[in-house]
Structure 1
Amino acid sequence: MSGRLSSKTAIITGAASGIGRASALLFAREGANLLAFDRADAVHEVAGQINASGGHAVAMTGDAGDEADIKALVARAKSTFGALHVMFANAGITGGVRGGFFDATPEHWAEVLRINLIGPFLAVKHAAPLIEASGGGAIVCTASVAGLRSGAGPAQYSASKAGVINLVQTAAQQLAGTGVRVNAVLPGLTETGMTKPMYDGARAAGKEHKIGQLNPMLRGGKPEEIAAVALFLASNEASYVNGQALAVDGGLSSSHPTSRPPGDPNRPSS
C-alpha cells in the first residue's frame, strides 16, 4: 500500500469514533501502520475494519489522560512496529454540565483538563523521543475553535482547548532541532458522538437545516473533513508547518458570531 504515510507508523487516540475513527481509516488508506487507541472497546472494530481492507492496524484500550497508559501505548508502537512517526492526540470530552457556568464544579473542570489538555501533553512527552529516534515526524493535537474565544463550547471545554493551542506552540519550541513538528487542528461544529445529542435534537425538532448556520458554509462539518487536515499536518506535505493551530470550521472563526445566552439563573448574586 502506498500513500502519504507509506512505511510510517502512526498512533491515533480517541480512534473508536468520530474524528478519530475517520482519521484511523484515512491514515491506514494512506499507508500507515496504525495503532488505534481508545477507552471504548469499539476501537477493536476499527482496527478490524482496517485489517479486513488490507491495511495494518493494532487496537489498544486505555485512558488518554493516564501517563502509565500513554507510556504503554508508545512502548507498544515500538515493540510492534519498531518506530513511530506520527502521534495524533485526538481523544477528548466535552465535560458538559447541566445548567450554566456556575453549576460546574472543580471536579468537572479537573476531568476535562485531565483528558483534553494533560492527555495531549502526555502524548507529546512520551511520543516525541521515539519520533525523533525514528527520524522525525509529526505530532497533531485536536484542539477546537472553542479554544479561540467564547461562543463555541462550554467554559471548561473551551479553556482546555485554549490550552492545547498554547501547548503545541510551546512544544514546537521545546522540540527545536529534533525533527518533530507539533501542530493543532481546530474543528468547528462537526457531527461526532460528542455532538450527537445536539444533532439528534435538531433533527427531531425538524431544525436540522439550522445546524451550522452561523458559519459561511451554512452547515456543520464531517469527521472526514477534519481527518483530511490532520492527515496533511501528519504528512511530509506539511514539512514546514510547525507550532500552528489550523481551524477547520467552515469559516466560523473568521468572526465567531454568536447570540448572547440569557443570564445564568444560578449566577451568584453580589
Structure 2
Amino acid sequence: MARLAGKVAFITGAAGGIGRAVCRRYIEEGARIVAADISADSVEETLAEAEAGDNGLGLVCDITDPDSVKAGIARTIERFGRLDTLCNIAGGSSRADGRVTEAPDEEFWRVIKLDLYGTFLCCKYAIPEIARAGGGSVINMSSMAALMALTERDCYTAAKGGVASMTRSMAVEYAPDRIRVNAIAPGLVLTPRAERIMAEREEIRLLADIHLLGPCQPIDIAEMAVYLAAEESRVVTGQVLSVDSGVTIHGGAQ
C-alpha cells in the first residue's frame, strides 16, 4: 500500500527544486496535494511534472500574507475535505546577506518575514485543520545554517535557527492533538538556483566540497519529507533532522 494513501498535504514553495521533488514523491505515495507558491505558471508546471491529475490543486499563495495563507488553507478544505500534512518549504537567502555588521537591515527583515514568519503563519492556520482531521504532521524547513557556523549568512542563520526552535516548542504544544512537528535541515541541495549560486560564489563551491558524500539532491530531502508524513514516523516529533551529507559534523572541523 502507498505510504501516504488517503492523506492530504499542503506544500509551500512547490515551484522550487525541493518543493517539486516533494510534490512528485507525495503523489507517487498516494497523497493528494495542494501545491502552493507565488507563481501560478510554475505551480501548474509542478503539478504536471508530478502527474497529479485530480489529486493535485495548484494555488497562488504568499506565505507572508495572513489573508493569502488563510485562503489557501480554506481552499484546501473545500477541495479535499481535510488536511493531514503541512510542508513548509518556501524560503531562501539572497546575495544581500552577510555578516551582522554588514548585512542590510532590509535583508534581515526580508528573510525573517519569509523564512520564519511565513512558517509561523502557515502553522497558525494549518494546525487547527490538522487537529480536526485527528492529527498528522507538520514538516518545517530549517537548514545546515542553523546547526553549524556558516559565515556570511547571519540573517538566514537567524531565521532558520528560529524555525528549529519553534519546531521544538510546537512539538510539545500540539502533541495532545496527535500532531507531530519536525524540521528538516538540508545541506547544500543542488537545485537549479543553488547551482547558479555555486557558479557565482567561490565560498559556496568550497562548501560543496566538504559534504562527505557529495552535495544533496532534491530527492534526498523529499524522501525525508515522505518519512515524516508517513505513519512510520508516528513517534518522531520535535526533531531537527539533518539531510546534509555529513557537512554539519565535518564542516566544523575545517
TM-score when scaled to structure 1?
A: 0.87
Residues 129-170 of structure 1 show CA distances to partners (whole Å, capped at 9, x for unaligned) of: 101111211000011010113226611011110001001101
Question: 203, 207, 213: which is aligned to 2:209?
Answer: 213
Gapped runs of 5+ residues in structure 1? 260-270
- In the TM superposition, what are the counterparts of 1:196-207 in structure 2 within 5 Å? 196-201=195-200
- In the TM superposition, what are the counterparts of 1:176-195 in structure 2 within 5 Å? 176-195=175-194
The 2-side partners of 1:121 and 1:99 are apart by 24
Relative distance call for 1:123 and 1:102 in structure 2 (3 A) is same
The 2-side partners of 1:99 and 1:87 are apart by 30
Q: CA deviation at 1:54?
A: 5.2
- In the TM superposition, what are the counterparts of 1:112-123 in structure 2 within 5 Å? 112-123=111-122
Instruction: Indicate the residue corresponding to 2:167 in structure 1.
Output: 168
Relative distance call for 1:153 and 1:29 in structure 2 (3 A) is farther
Instruction: Indicate the residue corresponding to 2:7 in structure 1.
Output: 8
Instruction: Indicate the residue corresponding to 1:246 in structure 2.
Output: 241
Task: Check conservation: 1:96, 1:154, Cα contact below 8 A.
Answer: no
The 1-side partners of 2:160 and 2:98 are apart by 21
Task: Check conservation: 1:214, 1:257, Cα contact below 8 A.
Answer: no
User: What letter corresponds to residue 212 of structure 1 in structure 2?
Assistant: A
**Helix, strand or coil: the match of 1:60?**
strand
Instruction: Indicate the residue corresponding to 1:63 in structure 2.
Output: 62
The 1-side partners of 2:200 and 2:216 are apart by 17
The 1-side partners of 2:187 and 2:141 are apart by 11
User: What letter corresponds to residue 23 of structure 1 in structure 2?
Assistant: V
Q: CA deviation at 1:64?
A: 1.4
User: What letter corresponds to residue 148 of structure 1 in structure 2?
Assistant: L
**Helix, strand or coil: the match of 1:184?**
strand
Q: CA deviation at 1:187?
A: 0.3
The 1-side partners of 2:179 and 2:27 are apart by 21
- In the TM superposition, what are the counterparts of 1:20-169 in structure 2 within 5 Å? 20-41=19-40, 42-51=42-51, 56-97=55-96, 101-151=100-150, 154-169=153-168
TM-score when scaled to structure 2?
A: 0.92
Larger % of helix: which?
2
The 1-side partners of 2:248 and 2:207 are apart by 16
The 2-side partners of 1:192 and 1:230 are apart by 16
Larger Rg: 1
User: What letter corresponds to residue 43 of structure 1 in structure 2?
Assistant: V
Q: Output the aligned Cα RMSD.
A: 2.2
**Helix, strand or coil: the match of 1:228?**
helix
Gapped runs of 5+ residues in structure 2? none
Residues 55-114 of structure 1 show CA distances to partners (whole Å, capped at 9, x for unaligned) of: 611100121122111111111110000000000011002033176543322211111001
Identical positions, percent: 32
